[in-house]
Amino acid sequence: MIKYKNIKNAHIKSDLIYRDLYETSIKDSDLFWKKISNRVDWFMKPKKISDVDFKTAKIKWFQDGQINASYNCLDRHINNGYGDKVALIWEGNNPDHDKKFTYKQLLCEVSKFANVLKSHNIKKGDRVCIYMQMIPELTIAMLACARIGAIHSIVFGAFSSDSLRDRINDLNCKVVITQDSGVRGTKIDIPMKCNVDKVIKNSECVQKVFVVKRTDFKIHMKNQFDFWWHKEMNCASNICEPEIMNSEDPLFILYTSGSTGTPKGVLHTTGGYIVYSSYTHEIIFDYQPDDIYWCTADIGWITGHSYIVYGPLSNRATTVMYEGVPNYPDFGRFWQIIQKHKVNIFYTAPTALRALMKEGNAYVEKWDRSSLKLLGSVGETIKKPEWEWYYKIVGEEKCPIVDTWWQTETGGILISPLAATTKLKPGSATKPFFGINPVILNEKGEEIKENPAEGLLAIKNSWPGQMRTVYGNHDRFFDTYFSQFSGYYFTGDGAKRDKDGYYWITGRVDDVLNVSGHRLGTAEIEGAIGQYKDVAEAAIVGFPHEIKGEGIYAYVTLMTGIKPNLKIEEGIINKVREVIGPHANIDKIQFSIGLPKTRSGKIMRRILRKIAHNKLNDLGDISTLADPTIVEQLIKYRK
């Protein structure tokens, strides 16, 4: 068992307490969540706790409660006498650049921007697109939307203008909030406003753009259309009453990739989400009142929503937000920030650990990490080498690692160790959190009850942080998550459960890739490749990648008469980066005369995956292929 510094004050002190509470949480879920819901402030306390039917994908929590997320993240702490506590530490791209906001100061900024939005006629229920890098105004804009009941839709700052356009149009956003340009590492001119300009030139919905001045990058501001953030803020009042929201009113929409079609607008509502993100943040990170907490994710992803902003701030935490990258000015930057701000809890992704690990220990050891008490991991399985390095070198064998499994759809962590009580096994996300009932299903949808078990990971019950629908398409919500195995939420992941009941995530079982912790649909990438003029057809699979976890392997067939060459290869790679964003970077392209298809024309990805993984002796049955000779070709020219 790992020694844990905070064992005496830990929220969950023993395995017995965990097991008792877990049992209660499953047996009488409503009673359990009723108690937990008291951790937040309601304008009207809910009497109804859950109203859930997985057969129709109808999910409601605390439906007669009234609440405001921004009030819970700000006002109530000030009312309780903590206005001068630091809420947000912003660490800029350059090591000498930081800013701190107390709860009072943050409320002041949030209220002002909420008033700006109101003065531009943004109301409850309107969708607001936020396209920014990691600057404080991003957090302020989110909470301002929450304050007035506008639904924010944050688009990760690395997405291209094409991806931005699709997301804006899908929601009919009236407003976009952005910055002049973005700063990350050595890049100082990431064209944020320019990308927005490309989108809204022909937009039928966007009426106004608010622009934060982050750099001196020259941009074009159009009269009556573009508004400087600082100018608007100058004349805004710093008092804005929070809108009274029903618990089930939407809080935000966040797009995520699925196995088919365009990315889905995952919709989260207010009451359940804030209860769940706040509770999981406190218990899983064992957050204590004076802790400095840092999650390195980007707020453009769910991890940033739940565990940089809503979870920590609703718990009156001091949360760190970092603008830059792990390797700027050098590979020691994370550890320098830990020393500088005396970070106690550090939450990052295995892909970042792998990239830093390979640069050697000196970058870590140069900085004082004695403030650390707990380390966290998210986004993919943390494998043994990076787990050991994180534990031994970063944490000096003093900090437990919480390997947290969850998804955009789940709103918060569902499976994770608890710092003081769970015996850790590197690579396992260990045990379910309170109120979560995971099961392993076989292909027929039957529960495998005995241990060990291996199969598909599903959840048998609902929890308050669960997504409620796919924006504008409830049928898609039902079809994606509830139709395959009736009565269960299907996660899309495979998992094993060992003899001790520990869960080991084995990865996606659908056509979704996890590249450096970023979720990408194969269909999306194939669609982008298809936009390159010489391409007839493409198929994407993942393959093991040393740093990214999973790399992108593309099989491409060109139009008749076109010969593959370096220019076309580069053209395809650039096309995908242009259509999706630079995080969708193809690692390998194999040109082929055809793809392995069944006689009915379905691409047999299983075979493509095996070839990309170099498992050539294990191709399985290829007798159903329309043209088996294609496989020989593919093997011969494997990259």
Q: Footprint of ligand PRX on this chain (CB under 6 A)?
A: 256, 302-303, 378-381, 403-408, 429, 491-493, 505, 508, 514, 519
- CB-based contact 268:215 (threshold 8 Å): no
Task: Return the number of the residue (429 or 573) whose C-beta is nearest ligand PRX.
Answer: 429
Helix H, strand E, coil C: the string for 404-430 is EECCHHHCCCCECCCCCCCCCCCCCCE
Shortest Å, Cβ 274 to ligand PRX: 17
Task: Return the number of the residue (49 or 413) whose C-beta is nearest ligand PRX.
Answer: 413
Task: Return the number of the residue (252 or 331) whose C-beta is nearest ligand PRX.
Answer: 252
Question: For 279-296, b where at least 16 C-beta lie within 10 A, e where not — what string?
Answer: bbbbbbbbbbeebbbbbb
Task: Return the number of the residue (256 or 466) whose C-beta is nearest ligand PRX.
Answer: 256
Interatomic CA distance for residues 539 and 493, integer angstroms: 21
Task: Return the number of the residue (408 or 592) whose C-beta is nearest ligand PRX.
Answer: 408
Task: Return the number of the residue (332 or 549) whose C-beta is nearest ligand PRX.
Answer: 549
Task: Return the number of the residue (126 or 286) whose C-beta is nearest ligand PRX.
Answer: 286
Shortest Å, Cβ 500 to ligand PRX: 18
Shortest Å, Cβ 508 to ligand PRX: 5
Interatomic CA distance for residues 160 and 190, integer angstroms: 11
Shortest Å, Cβ 352 to ligand PRX: 13
Shortest Å, Cβ 512 to ligand PRX: 7
For 608, residues 6+ apart whose C-beta sits below 8 A from its C-beta are 539, 541, 553, 555, 595, 596, 634
Task: Return the number of the residue (259 or 371) whose C-beta is nearest ligand PRX.
Answer: 259
Shortest Å, Cβ 494 to ligand PRX: 9
Instruction: Point out which residues pair with 454 in neighbouring strands.
Output: 496
Tokens of 593: 């005369």
Shortest Å, Cβ 302 to ligand PRX: 5
Interatomic CA distance for residues 381 and 349, integer angstroms: 9
Residue with the two structure tokens 């973005």: 182
- CB-based contact 590:539 (threshold 8 Å): no
Task: Return the number of the residue (181 or 416) whose C-beta is nearest ligand PRX.
Answer: 416
Helix H, strand E, coil C: the string for 514-526 is EECCEEEEHHHHH
Task: Return the number of the residue (210 or 322) whose C-beta is nearest ligand PRX.
Answer: 322
Task: Return the number of the residue (430 or 590) whose C-beta is nearest ligand PRX.
Answer: 430
Task: Return the number of the residue (289 or 501) whose C-beta is nearest ligand PRX.
Answer: 501
Interatomic CA distance for residues 129 and 124, integer angstroms: 14
Shortest Å, Cβ 100 to ligand PRX: 27
CB atoms within 10 A of CB 579: 22
Shortest Å, Cβ 32 to ligand PRX: 23
Tokens of 492: 């899309």
Q: Which amino acid is at 327?
A: N
Number of continuous H segments (helices) and E segments (strands) in the chain: 21, 30
Shortest Å, Cβ 457 to ligand PRX: 8
Shortest Å, Cβ 10 to ligand PRX: 21
Shortest Å, Cβ 309 to ligand PRX: 14
Task: Return the number of the residue (469 or 592) whose C-beta is nearest ligand PRX.
Answer: 469
Residue 157's nearest CA partner among 182, 127, 180 is 182
Dump the DSSP string for 60-72: EESTT-EE-HHHH
CB atoms within 10 A of CB 393: 19
Residue 6's nearest CA partner among 415, 358, 344, 252 is 344
Shortest Å, Cβ 103 to ligand PRX: 27
With residues binned 3-state (H G I as helix, E B as strand, rest as coil), the percentages for the chain, rounded to 5, are 30, 25, 45
Dump the DSSP string for 98-121: EEEEEHHHHHHHHHHHHHHHHHTT
Backbone angles phi, psi at 343, to 5 degrees: -70, 135
Tokens of 230: 């600082």
- CB-based contact 261:523 (threshold 8 Å): yes
- CB-based contact 512:521 (threshold 8 Å): yes
